[in-house]
Structure formats: structure tokens, C-alpha cells
């Protein structure tokens, strides 16, 4: 509906004088005037004469009309010369609340002509109160509560997990018990003792292992030793128990170590505490027999975990156990399908980016930022829209850590009355923001084309089957109505 011939210009001086006379609307006008930095062209057109009143913006080149006026709040009519009257004009409800006119009622001394219907998380006659969703202390076991719009988020201390930190993630994963089998354990090197007859292999690194040869030891020449456990699927790890061993009457053990983890066995991340720039060095053992437990707080979600000795006594010798749980064990009761925070703002503005943004009629005030792509957002510009309508455009969410994604809800919007939406889209994702994978059809292996919206408002939900893990998610619009325009929510859980 918009092309490069469109010109915009503001109300002229006489209409400003008009407006100022209206006293109480002066502030509205002042703010409106800031967007009227006139882009009038030298070519004669309807917008060069005073056609739009009361601080309206005049636009030519749209559709069949010679011009249209975009009215400031509180005005209406083709030329914005009518004052909107009625209790809902302008909208007295805050925080995206919608206003409804009701038949006048008298309640005590208060005269009501409208009611505000509030968005979740807001209350009060004008939805002016942001409800503190933390007030009932929903987070158990020392979890830190953060108030969101209509929701809360618990930051759980390890080893507690779950929406309310109500579950303990403390299973022993099977080094001692044997659930982790030989073939899952590997190492950078192996020490062979007594003329090469004793093999101190990684498969022996089991807590409380007995016998003469009862632990893993790295080769003496190995400058960068490590031992690795492949858990065969992504698991949540909340701790590690380590133990040394004695060889020929002397104690050998790892005094300090680092931990690295990986999803795929190729790219590894060394464990750091939140906000730290240095690798965490864990304090290990002091003798050949006693155990030392270290917690991972925050927990590690990974398939592969590596223990990297930093300081060893005599040799790098280890028996160990891993502590953690399956990922789906702690998903909240609704399964792994919680809203990840587009609507509730757990996902902050800074986490949303896009290939480009559109400005209606080139006006800054009507910019369709990626930060507006929140499900059910209200307002004149209330969605993301890119500068161009082609298949190179995308909107990105950085979840800041890897989460399990199980679905997406999408929604269109209206731009000054024009219904716009994305009818087909692709989803791509990444763990590092550099290497991207596209969600595929399970059978054919082709890129999956998700069916999107059909109108300006209905929520359309698509599930990711199977779910995937990612930190970065991009929605790539593939087909659309009028212009690419998107509001959305991501579904998943905090794995
Ligand atoms: C508003 O403008 C229209 C023409 O554009 C005119 O017919 C109408 O009388 C005006 N209304 C008022 C209240 O000035
Ligand atoms: C190993 O630990 C046990 C129990 O603490 C102790 O009795 C023994 O002397 C230790 N052996 C060596 C070689 O340090
Ligand atoms: C999309 O539009 C932009 C700007 O016009 C252009 O640079 C880009 O090549 C286009 N991409 C496709 C796939 O057409
Ligand atoms: C846009 O959505 C609203 C709210 O659901 C609905 O009332 C309206 O009819 C829709 N408009 C069009 C043109 O589909």
C-alpha cells in the first residue's frame, strides 16, 4: 500500500493556532508537532494547503484518495476537524487496557461512563497498577522472584529447578551405579603402569571403585588431560563428586579442575559463573579416598561433559560421579509449553532485533520496531514490520541461554486500518548466533513452512515437532498479506 511517491507534511500554522486555543490539548499538540517535521515536496499537492486540522499528519499518494489525514488522539473525521467525544476518547485506560463505554451508572459518589478491561498483570480502574506477581512468594527453596507483566519468573539456586524451584535435580547419573557404560567414557590419554600391564583407563573413573587398578589416570606426558562423559542425550547437571585413588602406596588426586560441556561433541564451553569472564576453577581432592562435592550453580545443560584437571597431586587420577536429572523431569505441570516471555517481558527489548524496521509514511513515530512484536501488543504501531517485503527479512530473539523450544504463537496487526499479517514463515535457530539451522519437515527433510495468520488479530499456534534447543531463534516471513507484520510468543521451557 505504500510506495516511494508518498510525501508527508504536517498541519500548517493556522491549524496550530487553532489547536492552541483549545487549551487542555496543547500538550498533545506539542508532542504531535514534533513528528511534523515537514517532508513536503516542491511538487504541488493537497498537503501543501491546510487540509488536516488539529495537529494531524497529511499524507498523499495512498490508494485512490488524493490525501489522507492521520488524526492526533481525540480527533476524527476526514480532515480531523471533529473532536471525538465520549468517555473512551481519548482512551483513559493505561498499559494497553481497552476502554468500553457502558450505560451510565452511579456507584456511591462515583459516576462511571466507561470501564477499562485490563491486560493480564494490570489492575485498577484505569489499569494503572502493575500487579506484583511476586507478592505471594511463589518461588520456593530460596528462589529469587522477578515480577513480570501477568507472570513471574523464579531464579532457582542449584540444585532446585522448576517454575517455582519446587523440584530437586539430584539424581546420581550412574558412574558408580553403572548406568553410564564404558563406551560413554573417554579421555585424552591413559596411564599404563607396571611395564604397561596396568591400564588406568577412563572407564574405571567410577566413584568408590575398588581394586588395585581402580581409577583413571592420564599419561604422564599429557599436557592437556581431560576425561569426558557422553550422556547420550541432553541432561541437566547440578553437581560433581570427585575422589582420588592410591597407586603403589601413594595418594594421587586432582586438586583443582575446570569443567567444559558441549551439545554436539564439537564445540565446547568452559564453565563460568554468571557474569564472570574467567573460567571457574573447582577445588578438588585432598587425599586418596575422601570425596569432594561441587555444585554447578547455575546448572549445566549438555550432552557431553569434560573434566579438565588443572592441578594434580603426583598424577591426574580420578574417580567420580555426576549429579543431575533428565530435562523433562522438572518441566512444570503444563509440560514444556510455557510462554517464554514476549508478552510478559521476561524477554527484554534488548533481546529483540530484526533485519530492518518499517516506518509508515517514513514517519519516525510510526516505526514498527522488533521490540513491538509482543503478542497482543496494542497501539497505533503494535508489531514488527521490516523495511522491505521479501524473504530476506527476519526477527530474532536472543534467549540469553539455551532453552528448549516447543512452539510459537503468531499474530498479525493493522496499520491504520489495513489488515496485515504473515501467512507462511520459516524458523531458524542457533546456539552461537553464527551457525544457523532451519527447522525441517520430519519426513522430507525440506525446510518446514509454518502456516501463519489469516487476519489481524487471531492467535495462530504452531508446535515444533520435535522440539529443539537454541539460544537464538529467527522467524523468517515467507508469505504475507499486504505487508510483513508480526506479533508473537515463543513456547518452551528453561532447560
Ligand atoms: C469538518 O470538515 C468538513 C469538510 O471537510 C465539513 O463539512 C464539516 O462541517 C466540518 N465540521 C466541523 C465541526 O467543523
Ligand atoms: C588412603 O586413604 C585411606 C583412608 O583415608 C588411608 O587410610 C590411607 O592411608 C590412604 N592411602 C594413601 C596411600 O595415602
Ligand atoms: C530484499 O530487499 C532488499 C532491499 O531491496 C534487497 O537488498 C534484497 O536483495 C532482497 N532480497 C531478496 C531475496 O529479494
Ligand atoms: C481485526 O481484529 C479485530 C479484533 O479481533 C476484529 O474485531 C476486526 O474485525 C478485525 N478486522 C478485520 C478487518 O479483520
Q: Per-residue confidence at 30, pLDDT binned at 50, 70, 90? A: very low
Q: Give 284's contacts (C-beta < 8 A, 6+ positions apart).
A: 242, 253, 254, 255, 256, 257, 292, 309, 311
HSE (side-chain half, CA atoms, 13 Å) at 85: 1
Domain spanning 338-493: which CATH class is it, in words? mainly beta
Q: What is the reported pLDDT for 44?
A: 43
End-to-end CA distance of the chain: 43
Q: Give the position, in ligand 4's atom list, of the atom nearest the Cα of 419.
A: 13
| Residue 487 CA, ligand 4 centroid: distance in Å | 15
Contact 358, 387 (CB under 8 A): yes
Which CATH number does 171-327 carry? 2.60.120.260
CB atoms within 10 A of CB 424: 14
Whole-model pTM? 0.65
| Residue 354 CA, ligand 3 centroid: distance in Å | 14
Each domain of the chain, given as residue ranges in start order, spans: 1-43, 98-130, 139-168, 171-327, 338-493
Percent of the chain past pLDDT 70, that is, above it, reads 87
Listed residue (29, 24, 26) closest to 57, CA to CA: 29
Q: What is the reported pLDDT for 110?
A: 58
Question: Would the pLDDT of 164 be above 50?
Answer: yes
Helix (H) / strand (E) containing 20: helix 13-20
Angle (deg, nearest 10), helices 13-20 and 26-33: 150
Question: Would the pLDDT of 83 be above 60?
Answer: yes
Q: Is the CB of 81 under 6 A from ligand 1?
A: yes
pLDDT, average across residues 99-112: 69
Question: Would the pLDDT of 283 be above 70?
Answer: yes
Residue nearest to atom 6 of ligand 4 (CA): 457
Question: Would the pLDDT of 11 be above 60?
Answer: no
| Residue 457 CA, ligand 4 centroid: distance in Å | 6
Question: Would the pLDDT of 13 be above 70?
Answer: no
Reading the block at residue 376, the C-alpha cell is 497482543
Which CATH number does 98-130 carry? 2.10.25.10
Q: Is the CB of 248 under 6 A from ligand 2?
A: no
* Domains 98-130 and 139-168 equal at CATH topology level: yes
**What CA–CA distances, in Å, run from 288 to 84, 131, 242, 245, 299?**
83, 56, 10, 4, 27
Contact 280, 224 (CB under 8 A): no
Question: Would the pLDDT of 23 be above 70?
Answer: no
Q: Locate cell 527479512: which residue?
A: 393
Q: What is the reported pLDDT for 161?
A: 85
Percent of the chain past pLDDT 90, that is, above it, reads 56
How far, in whole angstroms, is CA 243 from its chain's centroid?
39
Q: What is the reported pLDDT for 29?
A: 34
Q: Give 398's contacts (C-beta < 8 A, 6+ positions apart).
A: 351, 352, 353, 433, 471, 472
C-alpha torsion sign, points 329, 330, 333, 339: negative
Ligand with minimal distance to 290 CA = 2
DSSP class per residue in 242-293: EE-EEETTEEEEEEEEEEEEESSSSS-EE---TT-SS---EE--SSSS--EE
Q: Is 62 helix (H, G, I), strand (E, B) or coil?
A: coil
Lowest mean pLDDT among 38-42, 262-266, 408-412, 425-429: 38-42
Q: What is the reported pLDDT for 62?
A: 66
**What CA–CA distances, in Å, run from 331 to 87, 160, 169, 400, 477?**
46, 12, 11, 19, 30
Which CATH number does 139-168 carry? 2.10.25.10
Lowest mean pLDDT among 2-11, 171-180, 249-258: 2-11
Question: Would the pLDDT of 460 be above 60?
Answer: yes
pLDDT, average across residues 113-132: 89
Question: Would the pLDDT of 246 be above 70?
Answer: yes
Q: Rounded distance, CA 327 to CA 311, Å?
A: 32
pLDDT, average across residues 451-466: 93
Question: Higher confidence at residue 101 or residue 209?
Answer: 209
pLDDT digits (tens, 9 = 90+) for 319-378: 999 999 987 644 444 468 888 999 999 999 999 999 999 998 777 878 999 999 999 998
Q: Per-residue confidence at 203, pLDDT binned at 50, 70, 90? A: very high
Q: Give the position, in ligand 4's atom list, of the atom nearest the Cα of 414.
A: 1
**What CA–CA distances, in Å, run from 406 to 380, 394, 439?**
31, 20, 12
Q: What is the reported pLDDT for 108?
A: 58
CB atoms within 10 A of CB 242: 23
Q: How many residues does the chain have?
A: 495
Lowest mean pLDDT among 50-54, 188-192, 358-362, 370-374: 50-54
Residue nearest to atom 9 of ligand 1 (CA): 81
| Residue 318 CA, ligand 2 centroid: distance in Å | 15
Q: Per-residue confidence at 56, pLDDT binned at 50, 70, 90? A: confident
Ligand with minimal distance to 419 CA = 4
Give the alpha-carbon dihedral of 79, 81, 83, 89, to 10 degrees. 20
pLDDT, average across residues 143-158: 91
Amino acid at each position: 500500500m505504500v510506495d516511494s511517491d508518498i510525501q508527508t507534511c504536517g498541519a500548517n500554522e493556522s491549524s496550530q493556532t487553532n489547536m492552541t486555543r483549545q487549551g487542555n490539548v496543547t500538550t498533545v499538540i506539542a508532542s504531535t508537532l514534533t513528528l511534523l517535521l515537514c517532508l513536503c515536496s516542491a511538487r504541488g499537492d493537497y498537503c501543501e494547503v491546510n487540509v488536516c486540522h488539529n495537529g494531524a499528519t497529511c499524507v498523499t499518494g495512498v490508494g485512490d484518495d488524493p490525501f489522507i489525514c492521520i488524526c492526533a488522539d481525540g480527533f476524527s473525521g476526514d480532515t480531523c476537524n471533529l473532536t471525538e467525544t465520549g468517555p473512551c476518547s481519548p482512551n483513559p485506560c493505561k498499559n494497553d487496557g481497552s476502554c468500553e463505554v457502558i450505560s451510565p451508572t452511579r456507584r456511591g459518589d462515583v459516576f462511571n461512563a466507561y470501564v477499562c478491561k485490563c491486560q493480564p498483570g494490570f489492575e485498577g480502574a484505569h489499569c494503572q497498577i502493575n500487579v506484583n506477581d511476586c507478592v505471594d512468594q511463589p518461588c520456593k527453596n530460596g528462589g529469587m522472584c522477578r515480577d513480570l507483566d501477568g507472570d513471574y519468573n523464579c531464579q532457582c539456586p542449584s540444585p532446585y529447578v522448576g517454575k517455582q524451584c519446587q523440584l530437586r535435580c539430584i539424581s546420581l547419573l550412574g558412574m558408580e551405579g553403572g548406568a553410564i557404560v564404558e563406551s560413554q567414557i573417554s579421555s585424552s590419554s591413559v596411564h599404563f603402569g607396571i611395564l604397561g600391564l596396568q591400564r588406568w583407563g577412563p572407564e574405571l573413573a567410577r566413584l568408590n571403585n575398588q581394586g588395585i587398578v581402580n581409577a583413571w589416570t592420564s599419561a604422564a606426558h599429557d599436557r592437556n588431560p581431560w576425561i569426558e562423559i557422553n550422556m547420550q542425550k541432553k541432561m541437566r547437571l547440578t553437581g560433581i563428586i570427585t575422589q582420588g585413588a592410591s597407586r603403589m602406596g601413594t595418594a594421587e588426586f586432582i586438586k583443582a579442575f575446570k569443567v567444559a560441556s558441549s551439545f554436539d561433541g564439537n564445540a565446547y564451553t568452559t564453565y563460568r559463573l554468571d557474569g564472570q569472564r574467567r573460567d571457574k576453577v573447582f577445588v578438588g581432592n585432598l587425599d586418596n579416598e575422601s570425596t569432594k562435592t561441587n555444585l554447578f550453580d547455575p546448572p549445566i545443560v549438555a550432552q557431553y561433559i569434560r573434566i579438565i584437571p588443572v592441578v594434580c597431586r603426583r598424577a591426574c587420577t580420578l574417580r567420580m560421579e555426576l549429579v543431575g536429572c533428565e530435562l523433562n523431569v522438572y518441566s512444570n505441570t503444563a509440560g514444556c509449553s510455557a510462554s517464554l516471555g514476549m508478552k510478559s517481558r521476561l524477554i527484554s527489548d534488548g533481546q529483540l532485533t530484526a533485519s530492518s524496521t518499517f516506518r509508515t509514511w517514513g514517519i519516525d513515530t510510526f516505526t514498527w520496531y522488533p521490540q513491538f512484536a509482543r503478542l497482543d501488543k496494542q497501539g497505533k504501531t503494535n508489531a514488527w514490520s521490516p523495511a522491505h517485503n521479501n524473504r530476506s527479512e527476519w526477527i530474532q530473539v536472543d534467549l540469553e541461554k539455551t532453552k528448549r523450544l516447543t512452539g510459537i504463537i503468531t499474530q498479525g496487526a493493522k496499520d491504520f486500518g489495513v489488515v496485515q499479517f504473515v501467512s507462511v514463515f520459516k524458523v531458524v535457530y542457533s546456539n552461537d548466533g553464527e551457525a544457523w539451522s532451519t527447522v525441517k519437515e520430519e519426513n522430507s527433510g525440506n525446510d518446514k513452512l509454518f502456516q501463519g495468520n489469516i487476519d489481524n488479530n487471531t492467535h495462530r499456534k504452531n508446535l515444533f515437532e520435535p522440539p529443539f534447543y537454541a539460544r537464538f531463534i529467527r522467524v523468517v516471513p515467507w508469505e504475507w498479506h499486504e505487508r510483513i507484520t508480526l506479533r508473537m510468543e515463543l513456547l518452551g521451557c528453561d532447560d
